[in-house]
Structure 1
Amino acid sequence: MENAAGNWTMCPECRGQGKKSKGLSKKAQLLYRKALLECKTADGTGTPSVLPKAHLYPCQNCRGTGLIPAAAPPVPDMQTYPHIAIIGGGIGGVALAVACLHRGIPFTLYERDPDFHARSQGYGLTLQQAGKAIEALGISQLEDAVVSTRHLVHDPRGKIIGEWGARKWLDSNAELPEKRTNMHIARQSLRLALLKQLGGHDAVQWGHQLLDFTEADGGGINLRFLVDGEIKNVHAGLLVGADGIRSTVRKQLIGESTTPLCYLDCIVILGICPLAALDGIDTPLLDSATVFQTANGKERIYMMPYTANEVMWQLSFPMAQAAATALSAGGSGPLKEEACRRTQWHTPIPQIVAATPETRISGYPVYDRQLLSANLLEKAGSITLIGDAAHPMSPFKGQGANQALLDALALARSISKGCKSAGWIKTGIRKSVLAAFESEMLKRSAVKVKDSATAAGLLHSEIVLKEGNAPRGRCLKENK
């Protein structure tokens, strides 16, 4: 949708949902009434009939995005919606702020870092299901994104043991799969694109470290921040923790001992290498449209386009937790040495690892947490979680950022829908909005968390070497 001004507001026909209801058919209504009548006349042992959900279809007015162009950003509607305190200026937090902006939902976005560049945020992301969510966040095109059309799996000698992607199917004259093509983008580039929707870096309250929060007597949440060495007190109608795997909000809300970090028995080393540093290396694997991985049943390296001129690699292998923690703490030098030692494989892997500047290398032990259950949040009142704060997962399925974006959009849409009448103030934000949102979020993300944890074992086992033109996850299912 053309939008020269770059401002958006929610579509009035679908109220920013992106979908509209066709309503229940007469047949469905009659069947429901019949079932309800039978339940009322029975001896009381039957199960009450549940009203079926109407079929939804994409809104034609906004082309399913939930947004239409606007001359200026919407004015926050302080009378209709609660003021939201968003903790965490990462992908999920900024995306939620953007989705709230478009719907006139008042918010303040807090980030503990002093500025955008304070910490290394250098790794790349693969956008899968969230590609459509990006459009619903007002971003029609990610200028820095790179699209991959080929995915290869090798053994250490360079033998291809698996291949898929658009080019594979086109070359074989086979029918293209319906699944969208993957987009790869630097995390900071996506974060910056989202911040531009908010008007830039000034939209974030930088340098705000959340200390704690309490329920306010008159409703809502009181928060305490440490800002430049001083205590700052603020009030919000709704608190959203988008502050990552070690979320301060989650720790106070649920407790660390209830769902502690779970070590997945492996470490990840990341690097970003400029293609210009690979002078003399001529290989189609570095055409900026190919993703490839190589594994030996223990170590596994994954390489993808980072930008048109850079490639990102992710090396992972099993390691005891104490050793992984020590290696990570040692910094980029020891991490690079370990990566070079373990990847003397086919070209161009050793050359890429060796040419990667130490300043572009990082590493960390891999963790997730036990899945949240709805009952752990049912007494949370005006507080909820999204992204890694709610459902952290390993990086091996590339789902962390995707799920965070989907969470953010779903929560903003739920607030817009659940607070459209003043009745929510009496029933409370949890009953009106959060309970249903969390139920959907936890159900959607649960399979991703489980699959990501499974992949942490699969990709470092002999199963990864099974020949087949399909993602390695399918090999595990075939071997069950």
Structure 2
Amino acid sequence: MKQVDIDKTSWTTCPDCHGLGKKSQRLRKKARLHYQYQLEQFKNSNGEGKAPLPPKKQFKTCSSCSGSGLIPSEHFPSPDKATYPHVAIIGAGIGGVALAVTCLHRGIPFTLYERDQNFNSRSQGYGLTLQQASKVIKGFGLVSLGEGVTSTRHIVHTTEGEVIGEWGMRKWVHSDTESSSKRTNIHIARQSLRLALLEQLGGNGAVQWNHQLLDFNVEDDKRIKLNFQVDGKIKSEKADLVIGADGIRSSVRQLLLGEDVAPLRYLGCIVILGICPLKNLNHIESPLLDSATVFQTANGNERIYMMPYSEDAIMWQLSFPISKNEAKALSNKGTTALKKEACKRTQWHAPIPQILEATDAKQISGYPVYDRELLTLEQLDNAGPITLLGDAAHPMSPFKGQGANQALLDALALARGISKGCRPSSSWRDIGLRKSVLTSFESEMLKRSAKKVKDSAAAAEFLHTETILFKGDEPRGGCLKRLNE
């Protein structure tokens, strides 16, 4: 695989903001006096009514690191084993590698375990759209994403090719300014982003490959003993904190909570994915193949979504309602059957049939779509020094493009929480990591991701109904909200 072109500089946390990317400001005099006045009124009323809430602190972007929380370092970071807990990260997908990177920058000792044999064990994978995460990508030390592609136009069609919705910079802004590019989405292959993050760690050697987690238990000294299967043998390791970043069918989650707590929930549809090189489409002239346009076409049942995968490839995602048993059966038939089904269902306007026909079956995959009911803080109260992030904590349908974004935000938030909650002046060894770090992290994570899980589940339904055919120059989710008002 081609290496992602990123800056080779090592990074460390910004001393001015302690790696948070922002600094608190003093309360304005007006806000402070107003609160004091309300508090005095409350006291004079003999406690009647509700006590006024103290004004929230205001934050500003740290000028020293431009909000990334990082500054360049001449030396590769070394772990501070005396200060911080040793973190065992289970799963070297996007979320797990991102957490490892943010721990590295902060001197938090970690070991990253992955059940795959090596980096290339996984298929080429799908493309990601970085939305909120694109604003904080520098917080992972990624100065640039060499294989990232920016889209500036999004179009919705009927199956006959009629445009029923269009938005994006090329519609609303008629200039190629730097400010406009900041408001666009970045599309990148999943493996390319994963590789860019791994390079921050120094390469594939930073991962303990071929480690299948079997079980773990908290011992008397509060440390966690983990047992792995490695080449048919049992290998034991110890850590102070275990993070399950091992996906929707997380082993850590299963061992921690069991399958009865928020089991997999089928969302009533299947997704078939394909990646087509543009060179396979040289004979087709279409403005939709300019590597800067995202488009989708639907008929109220089937829906196909196409986006740039890289500068020289396009990714497509076909979805349609189907029973769970039928979805499993179709997925199990393999790539050739998936391609045949996709082509049969999309004899629509050009260049859709041509793209699907030109896609090699080896670059096609398909799976039933699941999520889980969101966890609660109460369900994690007794988890001790163990937590989850990304799809292990809050899996969601792919239709809002939020899975990887939320995993990246989770990773950054957790590393910052460890750095803040386990400073030398803290007593994390005495009061425990749950109280010092995890409860606060989980509260923020679950609150932030709740709407994404809900909206993604709703999208799995309305994108396959006539709602998507609503005429309007806005994302289909916006149309749904207006129709329900």
> Is TM more than 0.5 here?
yes
Deviation at 1:170, TM superposition (A): 2.6
1:469 and 2:473 aligned: yes
Counterpart in the other structure of 1:289: 292
Counterpart in the other structure of 1:226: 229
1:162 and 2:168 aligned: no
Question: Do the aligned partners of 2:7 and 2:143 also contact (CA within 8 Å) in 1?
Answer: no
Counterpart in the other structure of 2:218: 215
Cα displacement string for residues 43-75 of structure 1 (whole angstroms, at most 9, x for unaligned residues): 677656654431111000011100000011221
Q: 1:240 aligns with which of 233, 239, 243?
A: 243
Distance 2:172 2:37 in 1: 50
> Structure 1 41/238 Cα, relative in aligned 2: closer, same or farther at 3 Å?
farther
> Structure 1 311/262 Cα, relative in aligned 2: closer, same or farther at 3 Å?
same
Unaligned runs of 5+ in 2: 1-5
1:110 and 2:127 aligned: no
Counterpart in the other structure of 1:447: 451
Deviation at 1:4, TM superposition (A): 6.3
> Structure 1 196/67 Cα, relative in aligned 2: closer, same or farther at 3 Å?
same
Question: Do the aligned partners of 2:173 and 2:180 also contact (CA within 8 Å) in 1?
Answer: no
1:18 and 2:21 aligned: yes
Q: Which amino acid aligns with 1:182?
A: N
Counterpart in the other structure of 1:371: 374
Q: 1:359 aligns with which of 341, 347, 362?
A: 362
Q: 2:439 aligns with which of 414, 435, 444?
A: 435
TM-score, normalised to structure 1, is 0.95
Tell me the number of residue pairs that the alignment of Structure 1 and Structure 2 aligns: 476
Unaligned runs of 5+ in 1: none
Q: Which amino acid aligns with 1:68?
A: I
Q: 1:187 aligns with which of 184, 190, 197?
A: 190
Within 5 A, what are the aligned runs for 1:31-430?
A: 50-171=53-174, 180-420=183-423, 421-430=425-434
Q: Which moved more, 1:22-31 or 1:182-191?
A: 22-31
Distance 1:120 1:246 in 2: 18
> Structure 1 336/475 Cα, relative in aligned 2: closer, same or farther at 3 Å?
same
Secondary structure in structure 1 of the residue aligned to 2:316: strand
Secondary structure in structure 2 of the residue aligned to 1:479: helix
Cα displacement string for residues 282-331 of structure 1 (whole angstroms, at most 9, x for unaligned residues): 00100111111000000000011111111100000000000000100111
Secondary structure in structure 2 of the residue aligned to 1:456: helix
Question: Do the aligned partners of 1:18 and 1:63 also contact (CA within 8 Å) in 2?
Answer: yes
Distance 2:364 2:350 in 1: 20
> Structure 1 424/273 Cα, relative in aligned 2: closer, same or farther at 3 Å?
same
What is the alpha-carbon root mean square deviation over aligned residues? 2.0
Q: Which amino acid aligns with 2:205?
A: D
Q: Which moved more, 1:192-201 or 1:224-233?
A: 224-233
Cα displacement string for residues 186-240 of structure 1 (whole angstroms, at most 9, x for unaligned residues): 0000000000000000000000011111112111311111111111111111110
Distance 1:49 1:106 in 2: 42
Distance 2:44 2:381 in 1: 34
Secondary structure in structure 1 of the residue aligned to 2:444: helix
Distance 2:100 2:140 in 1: 10
Deviation at 1:278, TM superposition (A): 1.5
Distance 2:26 2:418 in 1: 22
Distance 2:37 2:430 in 1: 33
Deviation at 1:374, TM superposition (A): 1.0
Distance 2:261 2:102 in 1: 31
Distance 2:339 2:20 in 1: 46
> Structure 1 109/470 Cα, relative in aligned 2: closer, same or farther at 3 Å?
same
Distance 1:190 1:36 in 2: 51
Q: Which amino acid aligns with 1:446?
A: A
Secondary structure in structure 2 of the residue aligned to 1:75: coil
Question: Do the aligned partners of 1:128 and 1:180 also contact (CA within 8 Å) in 2?
Answer: no
Distance 1:63 1:53 in 2: 23
Distance 2:213 2:35 in 1: 49
> Structure 1 341/45 Cα, relative in aligned 2: closer, same or farther at 3 Å?
same
Deviation at 1:280, TM superposition (A): 1.4
Distance 1:32 1:438 in 2: 30
Question: Do the aligned partners of 1:80 and 1:422 also contact (CA within 8 Å) in 2?
Answer: no
Q: Which amino acid aligns with 1:337?
A: K
> Structure 1 214/41 Cα, relative in aligned 2: closer, same or farther at 3 Å?
farther
Question: Do the aligned partners of 1:263 and 1:365 also contact (CA within 8 Å) in 2?
Answer: yes
Question: Do the aligned partners of 2:154 and 2:293 also contact (CA within 8 Å) in 1?
Answer: yes
Counterpart in the other structure of 1:460: 464
Question: Do the aligned partners of 1:271 and 1:314 also contact (CA within 8 Å) in 2?
Answer: yes
Q: Which amino acid aligns with 2:371?
A: D
Question: Do the aligned partners of 1:32 and 1:49 also contact (CA within 8 Å) in 2?
Answer: yes
> Structure 1 115/178 Cα, relative in aligned 2: closer, same or farther at 3 Å?
closer
Secondary structure in structure 1 of the residue aligned to 2:291: coil
Question: Do the aligned partners of 2:7 and 2:144 also contact (CA within 8 Å) in 1?
Answer: no
Q: Which moved more, 1:340-349 or 1:215-224?
A: 215-224
Question: Do the aligned partners of 2:85 and 2:108 also contact (CA within 8 Å) in 1?
Answer: yes
Distance 1:333 1:18 in 2: 48
